[in-house]
Structure 1
Amino acid sequence: MLFKSGAYRVLSDAVGHFSRDDGFAMASHVALSGLLALFPLLIFIAALAGFMGLHNAADQASSLLFDTWPQNVAQPVVNEVQRVLTEPRGDILTFGVLAALWFASNGVEALRTALNRAYRQNETRNFIFLRLQSLGLVILGAIVMIGFTFLVVLAPLAIRALTQWMPSVENFLLSIGVARYVVAGSLVTIGLFVAHWALPIGRRSFFELVPGVLATLVMWMAAGSAFGAYLASFANYVTTYGGLAGIMSALVFLYICSAAFILGGELNAALVRQRKPEPAR
């Protein structure tokens, strides 16, 4: 009974604070900023991969990024991404890449604002420091994504080596595409921990971040399955939005994911408050 009472207080605190602090409005802000940052981020990855002589890495990174999205949502966006990445660009290593970096970092700043609200924090750090941190995280994220694409390439080799000792698992592992799911899932999980640790002001331990990250992952998987099934069975976005159907479905999906992301931060903050109650006033 005590556990149930404590769990109810934590959930009530998290959901109540989400509602009182305009969580749905913040989810809209994060979703739109994320969509606006998506193409600049991939353009920067393409420029960085080209500079490193890895001309196919950008395509692999973009595919890896959308592996965690429902297929009905991801496919129209992937088509546009491929069109953007294959378009010859003469400015990609000069002004274009700087603009791409700036717009991609705006998405990071939207996440920071949402997490500061979720953790009940007022931002007091210098604007220049915050922007440099956002730019650094974009660059680091691009490098990590390029690096993880090699795991997708090397994973089939590892699977073949494994099947020399366990031949029966080869068809199973290859059929479910375990390499791509493991790599994509690892990227998402690492990204969530980095966001909760680095972006909001204040310091939280690893174990204080775990509940919100796990809750976000569970909500994302449930939302992805439910929204994908809804699009496949009921929704007709083409009739409603015409040529914008793909972008609108992506925006709605990002809105749902953003709300889950903010709720993860709210859950962590509520758990901390439960363990360290504020003194009576």
Structure 2
Amino acid sequence: MSRIRKPFEIASVAAQRFVAHDGWAIASHIALSTLTALFPFLILLAALAGVFGTKSLADEAGVLIFDAWPREVAKPIVAEMHRVLTEQRGGVLTVGAVLALYFSSSGVESLRVGLNRAYGLREARPWWLTRLESIAYVVCGAFAMLAFALLVVLGPLIWRKVINVAPGLEPLSLTVAIGRIGITAFLLLAVLVIAHKFVATGRRSVWAVVPGIAVTLLLWFLAGLGFGYYLDRFSNAYASTYGGLATAMVFLVFLYWLAAMFLFGGEINGTVIAARRVRLQARMQQKQARARGL
């Protein structure tokens, strides 16, 4: 019975910590920062892809980002994203690209603020150093997205040639298509591990951040199903309330809930780590007391 009760106790404490750390306010900050950073990041992605002469990769990488999102949320954003990525722009070293890089890093900074609070830590490094680190994460993320997109673009071409040589493998086409979803899931997992392990100040082992990541992925999956179901039946409510801004508001609300769940996952980890620290201190005190008794 104690094993069943323990996860609920951790979730309850994490929820209290979430409220005490202004989780809802930080979630809105993350959502707005992500919204303002998304298209600058895509512009940077297009500029980098253009340097390597493969501009279509940027479009494919952008689609990868939204593959795991509910169709009702992702469809209008993907349409705008395609328009942004197909516009002609200068090279990667233009002023616009530099500004895009800077504003994209704001999304990472907002995650840092939320995770530092969740783990009960204070950032001691100077602001310019953390900003440079955030910019490095953005650049590495852009290259990673292009690399994954290259695999996705070449994958169907290679598979078609394989089927031409061995037609008996055609029934496995569904498995290959599922591989695209697997790539998206791997991207999500990698981003969460990097965020919890490296973006927040201090250092934690991978095992220390697994509980919060698992909770975040579960909540995101349920949120995707629930939000998609809600929009499928009540999308007119947003259109009648916000008019032409309905798409932006739906996107912002969805980001808000994703950010809140992400922070809650951080609070889960913070709660577990704090509990382990308390247990370790209690054991050390017991050992010291026994040593004094001897």
TM-score, reference length from structure 2: 0.89
Q: Deviations over 1:11-56 (max 9, x none)?
A: 1211110011111111111001001000000000000010111111
Does 1:170 pair with 2:169?
no
How far is 1:92 from its partner?
Answer: 5.6
Aligned position for 2:140: 140
d(CA) in 1 for partners of 2:167, 2:278:
55
Contact in 1 for aligned 2:72/2:232 (Cα 8 Å)? yes
Query: Secondary structure, in 3 states, of the residue corresponding to 1:121?
Result: coil
Does 1:205 pair with 2:205?
yes
d(CA) in 2 for partners of 1:137, 1:154:
26
Query: Secondary structure, in 3 states, of the residue corresponding to 2:202?
Result: coil
How far is 1:168 from its partner?
Answer: 6.8
Aligned position for 1:253: 254
- Is 86-95 or 128-137 further displaced after alignment? 86-95
How far is 1:77 from its partner?
Answer: 1.1
- Is 270-279 or 38-47 further displaced after alignment? 270-279
Question: Residues 81-100 of structure 1: matches in 2 within 5 Å?
Answer: 81-90=81-90, 93-100=93-100
d(CA) in 1 for partners of 2:160, 2:175:
8
Q: Considering fraction of residues, name the structure with more helix.
A: 2
Q: Which amino acid aligns with 1:251?
A: L
Show structure 1 runs of 5+ residues with no match: none
d(CA) in 2 for partners of 1:118, 1:20:
10
Q: Which amino acid aligns with 1:54?
A: T
How far is 1:166 from its partner?
Answer: 6.9
d(CA) in 1 for partners of 2:187, 2:13:
30
Aligned position for 1:215: 215
- Structure number, greater radius of gyration: 2
Aligned position for 2:109: 109
Does 1:229 pair with 2:223?
no
Q: Which amino acid aligns with 1:170?
A: L
C-alpha RMSD of matched pairs (Å):
2.0
Does 1:277 pair with 2:278?
yes
Contact in 2 for aligned 1:152/1:179 (Cα 8 Å)? no
d(CA) in 1 for partners of 2:170, 2:98:
50
d(CA) in 1 for partners of 2:173, 2:199:
42
Task: Sort the Cα spacing of 1:132 and 1:253 in 2 relative to 1 into closer, same or farther, 3 A.
Answer: same
How far is 1:210 from its partner?
Answer: 0.9
Contact in 1 for aligned 2:51/2:91 (Cα 8 Å)? no
Query: Secondary structure, in 3 states, of the residue corresponding to 1:234?
Result: helix
d(CA) in 2 for partners of 1:197, 1:104:
20
Query: Secondary structure, in 3 states, of the residue corresponding to 2:231?
Result: helix
d(CA) in 2 for partners of 1:151, 1:249:
31
d(CA) in 2 for partners of 1:165, 1:76:
37
Show structure 2 runs of 5+ residues with no match: 283-294
Give the number of equivalent residue pairs. 278
Q: Deviations over 1:129-162 (max 9, x none)?
A: 1011000000000000000012212333358759
Aligned position for 1:45: 45
Q: Which amino acid aligns with 1:79?
A: A
d(CA) in 2 for partners of 1:276, 1:2:
20
Aligned position for 2:266: 265
How far is 1:267 from its partner?
Answer: 0.5
Aligned position for 1:24: 24
Q: Which amino acid aligns with 1:6?
A: K
Q: Which amino acid aligns with 1:244?
A: L
Task: Sort the Cα spacing of 1:270 and 1:83 in 2 relative to 1 into closer, same or farther, 3 A.
Answer: same
Question: Residues 117-196 of structure 1: matches in 2 within 5 Å?
Answer: 117-156=117-156, 157=158, 161=162, 164=166, 167=169, 169-173=171-175, 177-196=177-196
TM-score, reference length from structure 1: 0.93
How far is 1:165 from its partner?
Answer: 9.7
Q: Deviations over 1:202-238 (max 9, x none)?
A: 1110101111111111111110110011000123222
Q: Percent identity?
A: 44
